[in-house]
Structure 1
Amino acid sequence: MFGDVHLREVWFRYARKAAWTLHDVDLELGPGETAVVLGPNGSGKSTLLQLAVGVLRPGRGVVTGRPDVVGWVPERFPADQPFTARAYLTHMAAVRGADRDAIDEWADRLDFAGFLDVRLSRLSKGSAQKVGLVQALLSPPGLLVLDEPWEGLDAATRKQVPAIVADVVGRGGRVLISDHLGEVSRLPAARRWHVRDGRVTEGERPTVRRSIIELAVAAGHADRAVARLRADGFDVLGIREER
């Protein structure tokens, strides 16, 4: 779980004599950190994410420090498969050695429980993306990589993405996200990696002045209040019961 994921002097191209899509990329992402990859369409954002997750291998350079558990959600989940969502996720849970109860827990959280017994090929793009999110989170990932995670999701689920990010980094994991919809505003403390002309540069790290507010709610509403605060991008530093 601990240590940096390091893309070290990484170059990549899709064919032997093609132009380099990315060149001389040197980036590190440490425990508890989030980075958002920004850039125009076709700039190489998805390529960078696939190199980080291990879907693609560098033509030059190396990627080191990748943790044992990596969660990967591509921009478009491959839903053209002859399984129900539940059957697919049950198989993925078995492959990863995850508790099958996690399927129902995440389906409830993402308001997807009513679609678990629907064939993947019949799901809308947004519902298929929820399947992609669930499979990536069945085992707590040390690295979570999300390619345009807000694309196609309903408003309620879009609000869940910052809470999911907070859960992963709160356990010491790392999160890498691409964004072209301007949703980076939902992650104010994230690092910004800009991709342009094959190179990746880091923008100024955001400095967020924070205030700490103590909030009291009825015990029965605590879980809902915490989930709502995290969904709105707030950090929950601790929970205690009044005595």
Structure 2
Amino acid sequence: MTTEATRPTRRRSPLRISDVWKAYGRRQILCGADLDVPAGALIGVVGENGAGKSTLLRIAMGYLAPDRGTVERTGKAGYCPQHAVLNDSFTVAQHLRLFQAAYRLPDLTRAHELMDLLALTGCGRQRAGELSGGTRQKLNLVLSLMHDPQLLVLDEPYQGFDWDTHQRFWALAARLRDQGRSIVVVSHLLHDLHHFDAVGHLRGGRVDLERPTR
């Protein structure tokens, strides 16, 4: 017999989106979208241009309010937008120190580990405005991960990456997933779908979740 004392407790999902609706004027983008992201899962979100993928992620992170519906998040979260939000006059090192203060981190050990994993070392004195598009995106990704969040929400995080960095990114994502982190990635690349535990197809304003064929 299972008692209250022995009944296993269900782990709370780091992200749960329930019946979310969003319109821009008369244009309805999300129509009752649901997405439940369990701990230790790597979830992809795909859809046509204009389907509402970025809107869904911005709502998930609290940067945009839904017209109705609920979003529940637990633990620390990291968000990497599609377009890097950097100060072109700041160096890479200055960005790291700024976010260290914002996250209240004791040191930059984690940031330097991520820079090494993404082959971003050696450019600390360069200003963001001098970086290539792919290198800017590497920095964007490091800034979103350096506080070691439990939930990662990444909107096409590998824009501009060369093939080596692209592979490094997926190795990092798999490692974080295996450490129990929850990761949501918007992707438009069909050859990336095998990396995911499940793929959410955003169409008609709703998310249809399915497991890819490996």
Specify the alignment match of 1:7 in structure 2.
Answer: 17
Shift of 1:82: 2.0
CA contact (8 A) 1:90 1:103 kept: no
1:105 aligns with 2:113: yes
2:207 alignment counterpart: 200
CA distance in 1 between counterparts of 2:77 and 2:88 reads 22
Aligned position for 2:100: 93
Contact conserved, 1:76 with 1:125, CA < 8 A, in 2? no
Aligned residue number for residue 148 of structure 2: 140
Structure 1: unaligned runs, 5 residues or longer: 209-243
SS of residue matched to 1:62: strand
Q: Distance in 2 between matches of 1:93 and 1:167?
A: 23
**Would you tell me which structure has more strand in proportion to its own residues?**
2
CA distance in structure 2 between the partners assigned to 1:102 and 1:117 by the alignment:
19
Cα offset for 1:109?
A: 1.7
Q: Secondary structure at the match of 1:104?
A: helix
Q: What is the identity, as a one-letter code, of the residue corresponding to 2:21? A: W
Distance 2:74 2:28 in 1: 27
SS at match of 1:134: helix
Q: Which runs of structure 1 show a deviation greater than 3 angstroms over 4 or more consecutive aligned residues?
A: none
Q: Distance in 2 between matches of 1:172 and 1:183?
A: 24
Distance 1:146 1:73 in 2: 5
Judge conservation of contact 1:12–1:20 (CA < 8 Å) in 2: yes
Alpha-carbon distance, 1:134 to partner? 0.6
Per-residue CA shift, 1:23-52, capped at 9, x if unaligned? 101221110111101111111111111122
**Larger RCO (CA within 8 A; separation ≥ 6):** 2
- Once the two structures are overlaid, the 10-residue window that deviates more, 127-136 or 189-198, is 189-198
Choose the corresponding residue for 2:124, options 105, 108, 116: 116
TM norm structure 2 = 0.87
Asked if 1:150 corresponds to 2:158, the answer is yes
User: For 1:146-168, what per-residue CA distance to the aligned partner results, in whole angstroms no more than 9, with x for missing partners?
Assistant: 11122201211101122222222
CA contact (8 A) 2:111 2:146 kept: yes
1:18 is displaced (CA, Å) by 2.7
The Cα shift of 1:53 comes to: 1.9
Q: 1:20 aligns with which of 13, 28, 40?
A: 28
**How far did residue 94 of structure 1 move?**
1.8
Matched pairs, number:
202
| In structure 2, distance between residues paired with 1:193 and 1:143 | 17
Please give the per-residue CA displacement for 1:182-228, whole angstroms capped at 9, x wherever unaligned. Answer: 242450x421101123222123x2465xxxxxxxxxxxxxxxxxxxx
- What corresponds to 1:162 in structure 2? 170
TM-score where L is the length of structure 1 = 0.77
Distance 1:135 1:53 in 2: 16
Distance of 1:185 and 1:57 partners within structure 2: 29
Percent identical residues: 34
Please give the alpha-carbon distance, in whole angstroms, between the structure 2 residues aligned to 1:39 and 1:207.
18
Partner of 2:122, secondary structure, is: helix
Match of 2:189 among 173, 181, 184: 181
